[in-house]
Amino acid sequence: MNIQEAEKQINQLRDQLNQYNYEYYVLDQPSVPDAEYDRLMQKLIKLEEQFPMLVTPNSPSQRVGGEPLDAFQKVEHTVPMLSLSNAFNEQELRDFDRRVRDRIGDDFSYVCELKIDGLAVSLSYEDGEFIQGSTRGDGMIGEDITSNLKTIRSIPLTLKKRVNLDVRGEVFMPKQSFLQLNEIREKQGEMLFANPRNAAAGSLRQLDPKIAASRNLDIFLYGIGLIEDEEIHSHSEGLEFLQSVGFKVNPEWKRCETIDEVMTFIDGWFEKRSNLDYEIDGIVIKVDSLAQQLELSTTARSPRWATAYKFPAEEVATKLIDIDLSVGRTGVVTPTAILEPVTVAGTTVRRASLHNEDLIKEKDIRIGDTVIIRKAGDIIPEVTQVIFDRRTGIEQPYSMPDNCPTCGSVLERLDGEVALRCLNPKCPAQITEGLIHFASRDAMNIEGLGEKVVEQLFNERLIHDIADLYKLEKEKLMKLERMGDKSSNNLLEAIERSKENSLERLLFGLGIRFVGAKAARTLAESCLTIDALISKTRAELQQIDEIGEKMADSIVRYFEKPEVVALIEELRSLGVNMMYKGAVRTEAEQSDSIFAGKKVVLTGKLSKFTRSEAKAAVEARGGNVTSSVSKKTDLVIAGEDAGSKLTRAMELDIHIMNEDEFQASLDEQG
């Protein structure tokens, strides 16, 4: 058999296997016995072994899982994956409906879908071929889990239509698979997963794809993030399109003309949910028309055109053993109930929120009480009430202390707030919590600088504030427990890399009250430098999209503090970047660029740029950086040790630019 005959046979086998796979895992209507599928698969594998040059990443034979990864790479979402607002009762849902009607009138309809309790992911396709999959992450940046997602057989590797799109879905573990997995783990003496959602998330974040392949995960696709050359006018049209090209879409969705119809749909599924072979924790309600979604727009955190109705939480009784206090990075002192362990909504709960002193007094909660526990939105455990009939007389009333449990400073209650605060800026608990936040993944992303390391550094007096992180010395680090030569080097390198972060990460890391990751990015894009941000008045800040009065006031108050000004200057002197590195050029400037409107792929090791810097430079000049080379790629920028992407570009006769040429083109355009 020559290579042309082999290629023809291989393509036929792949088409057959893809169709059988779709019938079995998506339609649940297999047309051939398992033995026939296995026979064809073995035939394909033998041909690919005989002609390895014909193996492609999206061959059905590649679903078993590749080589283990060293770490997950970061992926920036082309369109942000915003989280949904929640409604926990009928009144909150009707309030959502009223807000929608106030903005767009009464001529619209909703789409209701089951809220799958799993892990949100984004899948990218070019010319109908699956090229990349990622986690939601912070909504802006996720992690590349392509290898693990390929092991999910209900995810098509090749679509029925050659289309470019990003789609969003929910990966989940069926109930039966979850029970079988925990049985295996119990026999092997391993820790059991608390619920199917945790099991699915843990499986997708395995560095070894073969482990993910063994977990029998599944997926439902629920939305389109981005699509080229297709006319889709509504969310319901989008669901039908996804199904038509080969995606698995949950069939239990419905268009509803009124909020009363929505409530009927919700009530029906609250009763029927136990009959499903997967977990759901509510219903998602979306305005159907995409034009009306655009008109409604979004807030900094969530779309105004959608909400998630969360089913009432499971409630159980247990004993409150003690009350613990914690001090957060903003100084709020939060009481937490220490409980006799109890299972709530599939998770073992040992601690639950008591929120504040007023709630403890209002509910007359005492140490030793039998209390009702529930999970708010099936996520956060909280104490809802006391079972007074079970009191024996030995229960102890509780009063919040007058002084901070960490530093001893007098606690105060600010006007209009119920929370007690420690206002001592040198409080160790606040400092350590602030340092942990600064180093976190969504902020400065300093790998290796977790909670225990921060506490160790602080307790050994090596750091007192975030500026001290950039003054750490290897010799002192190596004296700490579990900090050898390699660990010390890795931590110092991670700290050094963080200096190059774009401004939005620094702003979020500073912990300014009310400024989350999305708002930090909005501020950075608008102001470009931290000095420009500091100079803005409250009124000027409120002119920035999605920045309201409360946030503007908080920003101005924060930067008015002399100690904050001193900290910013110290960070600047230590080499921490104070500028926004994203795309900021005007449309006119972009149109003159050689990158304008071009699809660009970066490959190999770049010595003059970090990958994010090169990507930002291309995007600032109107280019679009993609992750794989295809016939639609216009330009490949190749560094050292460029591999298969460079080879593919040469085969397709795509223009290739080395790093020196890339640098020269940037210098020429300014």
User: Where along the chain do its domains lie?
Assistant: 3-64, 85-310, 315-412, 428-498, 503-573, 587-669
Region 454-477: mean pLDDT is 92
Residue 66: is its pLDDT beyond 60? no
| Domain 428-498 top-level CATH class | mainly alpha
Helix (H) or strand (E) holding 209: helix 209-213
Which CATH fold topology does 587-669 show? Rossmann fold (3.40.50)
Residue 613: is its pLDDT beyond 80? no
**Residue 139 is which amino acid?**
G
Region 96-107: mean pLDDT is 95
Provide the pLDDT for residue 329: 83
Contact 16, 236 (CB under 8 A): no
Q: How confident is the model at residue 209 (pLDDT cuts 50, 70, 90)?
A: confident
pLDDT, tens digit, 9 for 90 and up, residues 434-446: 999 999 988 999 9
Provide the pLDDT for residue 166: 94
Gap between the Cα atoms of 246 and 221, Å rounded = 10
**Residue 511 is which amino acid?**
G
Region 32-50: mean pLDDT is 84
Residue 237: is its pLDDT beyond 80? yes
Contact 384, 374 (CB under 8 A): yes
Contact 411, 396 (CB under 8 A): no
Q: CB atoms < 10 A from the CB of 592, how many?
A: 11
Provide the pLDDT for residue 591: 52
Helix spans in 385-516 (H): 428-439, 451-459, 474-477, 485-498, 503-509
Which CATH fold topology does 3-64 show? Helix Hairpins (1.10.287)
Q: How confident is the model at residue 586 (pLDDT cuts 50, 70, 90)?
A: very low
Contact 398, 367 (CB under 8 A): yes
Gap between the Cα atoms of 251 and 423, Å rounded = 53
550 is catalytic: no
Residue 488: is its pLDDT beyond 80? yes
Q: Let me know how long the chain is.
A: 670
Q: Higher-confidence residue: 303 or 64?
A: 303
Provide the pLDDT for residue 134: 93
Provide the pLDDT for residue 321: 96
Query: What is the 8-class DSSP label of residue 117?
Result: S
Residue 378: is its pLDDT beyond 50? no
Q: How confident is the model at residue 424 (pLDDT cuts 50, 70, 90)?
A: confident
Provide the pLDDT for residue 272: 87
Q: The pTM is what?
A: 0.55
Contact 224, 245 (CB under 8 A): no
Residue 471: is its pLDDT beyond 90? yes
Please state, rounded to an integer, the average pLDDT across all residues of the chain: 87
Q: Higher-confidence residue: 193 or 412?
A: 412
At 483, list the tokens.
Answer: 């900090």
User: In this prediction, what percent of the chain has a pLDDT beyond 90?
Assistant: 46
Gap between the Cα atoms of 124 and 143, Å rounded = 13
Gap between the Cα atoms of 154 and 216, Å rounded = 10
Q: Higher-confidence residue: 72 or 51?
A: 51
Provide the pLDDT for residue 590: 47
Provide the pLDDT for residue 466: 93
Helix spans in 503-653 (H): 503-509, 517-527, 530-535, 538-542, 549-560, 562-573, 587-591, 611-620, 644-651
pLDDT, tens digit, 9 for 90 and up, residues 381-402: 889 899 999 999 999 999 999 9
Catalytic residue, chosen from 43, 115, 210, 248, is 115
Region 556-561: mean pLDDT is 91
Gap between the Cα atoms of 19 and 37, Å rounded = 10
Closest CA to 292 of 577, 553, 100: 100
Residue 469: is its pLDDT beyond 80? yes
Provide the pLDDT for residue 207: 78
Provide the pLDDT for residue 500: 94
Provide the pLDDT for residue 592: 60
Closest CA to 637 of 646, 628, 650: 646
End-to-end CA gap in the chain: 56
The CATH architecture to which 315-412 belongs is: Beta Barrel (2.40)
Q: Higher-confidence residue: 286 or 584?
A: 286
User: Where do we find the tokens 């993030």?
Assistant: 225
Contact 507, 526 (CB under 8 A): no
Provide the pLDDT for residue 441: 84
Which of 13-17, 75-79, 381-385, 574-578 holds the top average pLDDT? 574-578
pLDDT, tens digit, 9 for 90 and up, residues 243-263: 999 999 999 999 999 999 999
Residue 562: is its pLDDT beyond 50? yes
Give domain 85-310's CATH superfamily.
DNA ligase/mRNA capping enzyme (3.30.470.30)
**Do 428-498 and 503-573 have matching folds?**
yes
Region 197-222: mean pLDDT is 88
pLDDT, tens digit, 9 for 90 and up, residues 272-327: 888 898 989 899 999 999 999 999 998 777 899 999 998 876 788 999 999 999 99
* CATH for 503-573, options being 3.40.50.300, 3.40.50.620, 1.10.150.20, 3.40.50.720: 1.10.150.20
Region 412-418: mean pLDDT is 78
Q: Higher-confidence residue: 174 or 28?
A: 174
Region 222-226: mean pLDDT is 94
Provide the pLDDT for residue 170: 96
User: In this prediction, what percent of the chain has a pLDDT beyond 70?
Assistant: 94
Residue 67: is its pLDDT beyond 80? no
Comparing 158-167, 227-236, 590-599, the range with the smallest average pLDDT is: 590-599
Phi/psi-derived region of residue 522, left when phi > 0, alpha when psi is between -120 and 50, beta in every other case: alpha
Query: Which positions ≥6 away from 630 have C-beta within 8 Å?
Result: 126, 127, 129, 652
Residue 376: is its pLDDT beyond 60? no
Q: How confident is the model at residue 379 (pLDDT cuts 50, 70, 90)?
A: low
Residue 328: is its pLDDT beyond 50? yes
Q: Higher-confidence residue: 451 or 38?
A: 451
Closest CA to 439 of 460, 455, 418, 424: 455
